[in-house]
Structure 1
Amino acid sequence: MDYTQYLGRCLLLFFIAIFLDAVGLILFFLGIFAPFSFWDVLVFSGPIIIFLSLFFWIFWYMGNLEVAVDDFLPKTR
């Protein structure tokens, strides 16, 4: 099965973004529900990691944009 049809051409950026989202959610929920003495570090680092994954989502989206070749050619009168 060809996954690029569904996920686009930048699979590495996609999987990095998914991984960071999952790690961020795990740290966040671990900080909320687990009785650790350092719960605040987990609660604050989880959303920061999720925010950093936003950059990989943006790069993944930009890598999958398709622009026509005519847009790159100089305009003639």
Structure 2
Amino acid sequence: PVCSCVLLFAVFMDLFGVSALLIGVFVPLEIGGRDFGDLLVYSGALLVLMSMGGWVMWYSGNIEGLISGNELTHKRNAVDRFARTLSRRIRKAHRSHSTS
């Protein structure tokens, strides 16, 4: 339920923001000799930026359950061994180049 509300927020902010942005760019809006196009461009851009927060919240709320630490133990040990081996090889190669 929360994810659907955040999705609606993001979609509406995108729609309103892009609409305001395009109206501000393409429609001449002068009232009393003052141009209000810039106001719509800036407010549209702000709404689109606000929608990015909604998209991030929606996406992070839809991530499937993360793997527990017990399930990662075997993989973590293999990665640690690989990193240590690679580090030793690089250190060994660096020492042989620095002494030459």
TM surpasses 0.5: yes
Higher helix share: 2
Structure 2 unpaired stretches of 5+: 30-34, 74-100
Amino acid at match of 1:61: Y
Q: C-alpha separation between the residues in 2 aligned to 1:38 and 1:26? A: 15
Per the TM alignment, residue 23 of structure 1 is displaced from its structure 2 partner at its CA by 0.2
What percentage of aligned pairs have identical amino acids?
Answer: 32
Q: C-alpha separation between the residues in 2 aligned to 1:51 and 1:29? A: 15
Q: C-alpha separation between the residues in 1 aligned to 2:42 and 2:10? A: 18
1:1-77 equivalences in 2 (<5 Å): 10-36=3-29, 37-68=35-66, 70-71=68-69
Number of aligned residues? 66
Over 3 Å counting, the alpha-carbon distance change for 1:17 and 1:38 in structure 2 is: same
Amino acid at match of 2:47: I
Q: Taking CA–CA contacts closer than 8 Å with sequence separation of 6 or more, which of the two structures ends up with the larger relative contact order?
A: 1
Q: C-alpha separation between the residues in 2 aligned to 1:71 and 1:62? A: 20
Structure 1 unpaired stretches of 5+: 1-8
Superposed CA RMSD in Å reads 2.2
Per the TM alignment, residue 50 of structure 1 is displaced from its structure 2 partner at its CA by 0.2
SS at match of 2:18: helix
Per the TM alignment, residue 32 of structure 1 is displaced from its structure 2 partner at its CA by 0.8
Q: C-alpha separation between the residues in 2 aligned to 1:65 and 1:50? A: 23
Structure 1 segments (4+ residues) deviating >2 Å? 68-72
Q: C-alpha separation between the residues in 1 aligned to 2:38 and 2:6? A: 29
